[in-house]
Structure 1
Amino acid sequence: MIEGLIAGKLYGTAQTRTGPSGRVFTTAKVRAAASDGDTLFVNVITFSDSTAAALLALEDGDAVTLAGTLTPKVWTDKHGEARPALDMNAHAMLTTYHVRRKRRAAQGETTTPATPAGEYDDDL
């Protein structure tokens, strides 16, 4: 088991589904930059209600940072080349709201009421 943190851009939109057992989960795909300048796709699944709500509030192309368990994978592109990918079972997500709130707390400012999902300040 590999615990990891990924950052990238949401590719498409997150989707909520229900498994055969009735368990609800959310899936998403994140496009992350690899060290060689290539793109790495991360297939994300989460069973956490708070992480799912935060993912569902985002749109295609929005920045996202997720923490969770990673599983390396390989897929074959349309040219027959093997490409790396990651599967992630996400248990936490960092949003711009969290960054702003932590920055204010570190500066000694009092916290403001919670911002509803999807409403973020642009003062980062």
Structure 2
Amino acid sequence: MHTPPPVNLREMPSPQVAFQRPELAMILSLYGRMVAAGEWRDYGISCLREVAVFSVFRRTAEHPMYRIEKRPKLRGKQGMYAVIGMDGQILRRGGDLKNVLRVLERKLIRAVD
């Protein structure tokens, strides 16, 4: 009887990247404040092989205003979190989600003023 070689779990690719509960709590807290300010109206979440994306919309069925991305492969380089604008420009990138989301919180302060 042939036994298969041992499997190294660290080498196996994960099926998809997803936001963890604390990450989603931070993102949804900001989302709720922006909805209350009348800036955002809808969102979508995509969990893909190399990236998890939280897309923010002003109206349903249009291009996202912002994308909050998590790319674990960039953890040691530029940081695994990024906020990307409608035009594809990276507004902020880093390893700490709370700091990365600050670029959007500034827009909330302007919206309330």
* TM-score, with length taken from structure 2: 0.26
Mark the structure with the bigger radius of gyration. 2
* TM-score, with length taken from structure 1: 0.24
Highest relative contact order (Cα 8 Å, sep 6+), 1 or 2?
1
Larger fraction in helix: 2
Larger fraction in strand: 1
